Amino acid sequence: MWRAKSRTSAFRKEWAWGLDAEAVVTGSVWLGLLGVLCGLYAQDLGLAKSQTTDRKEAIVASHAVGTFEVKVTPAPASDDSGEAALGRMLLDKQFHGDLEGASKGQMLTAGTGVKGSGAYVAIEKVSGTLKGRKGTFILQHSGTMIRGGAAQLNVTVVPDSGTDQLAGLAGTMTIKIENGKHSYDFAYTLP
CATH number for 172? 2.40.350.10
Asked whether residue 102 falls in the same domain as residue 184, the answer is: yes
Question: What per-residue confidence (pLDDT) applies to 80?
Answer: 57
Within a domain: 4 = no
| Residue closest to 101 by CA, chosen among 61, 139, 129 | 129
Question: What per-residue confidence (pLDDT) applies to 127?
Answer: 98
Q: Is 70 exposed, middle or buried (0-12, 13-18, 19+ CB in 10 A)?
A: middle
Asked whether residue 47 falls in the same domain as residue 112, the answer is: no
Asked whether residue 46 falls in the same domain as residue 81, the answer is: no
| Residue closest to 40 by CA, chosen among 23, 22, 52 | 52
Low-confidence residues of the chain, pLDDT below 70?
Answer: 1-57, 77-84
Within a domain: 64 = yes
Question: What per-residue confidence (pLDDT) applies to 141?
Answer: 97
The amino acid at residue 89 is M
Last residue of a domain, one of 21, 37, 55: 55
Strand intervals (E) in the chain: 60-75, 86-97, 99-111, 118-130, 133-146, 150-157, 170-178, 181-190
Asked whether residue 141 falls in the same domain as residue 185, the answer is: yes
Asked whether residue 88 falls in the same domain as residue 170, the answer is: yes
Asked whether residue 13 falls in the same domain as residue 94, the answer is: no
Question: What per-residue confidence (pLDDT) applies to 85?
Answer: 81
pTM as predicted: 0.67
Containing structural domain, residue 91: 60-190
